[in-house]
Chain A
């Protein structure tokens, strides 16, 4: 499984767009990039997953360049409730049968 590197912490303000970048230099052909969000006293929650280019859902966008060695999670117009830890993971396409290893995550703090 490819190792991921992301900033330990980030700060932003309500209404701003937040971009969290993750490096995964050793990503394999069959790997997806997946992001999870974890609030205090809760288990992680799946946010978004992508293989290449751009993926968007109601929560976030995920940008993946052609070489796939990095990815950027974009949270539009954040609010205080977006304060959480965000984990970037590389998972096998066949991850229903393989384990998920968490990196250090990015602790995002949103201020009024």
Chain B
């Protein structure tokens, strides 16, 4: 199994500012994923964070708004830029162990933009 730690667990931010969410995995993983989950809704994939290359974004998400870093095989960050109240959500990090089909998730970061 893998343990995924996310920081911060929650934050309240002013509109127009940016927040960087950190995701640390206790094992080396090839790919990491970032999701957004609105209250009472399912998870929506934002992007896939590849080590050594640019992140791959899903339709409706762009790099300027959600820049992602993946400096090594155990760490990734997601930045929510120029925030507005519509960005208020839970952001989750996920990863698979090499050769495994099971995904592990962090506890999430609850973001409130005021």
Contacts and interface: CB of A to CB of B under 8 A. Distances in A.
A43 B106 contact: yes
Interface stretch (B42-50, B62-70, B79-87): B42-50
Given A43-B92, A91-B101, A99 B45 contact: yes
Interface string A86-107: 0100011101110111111100
Interface residues of A, number: 24
A43 B107 contact: yes
Contacts of A81: none
B42 A46 contact: no
A63 to B, nearest CB: 19
Interface of B: 4, 30-31, 33, 35, 42-45, 48, 92, 94, 96-108, 110
For the complex of A and B, 9 pairs with smallest distance between CB atoms: A43-B105, A102-B43, A96-B96, A95-B101, A46-B102, A102-B42, A43-B92, A44-B105, A104-B42
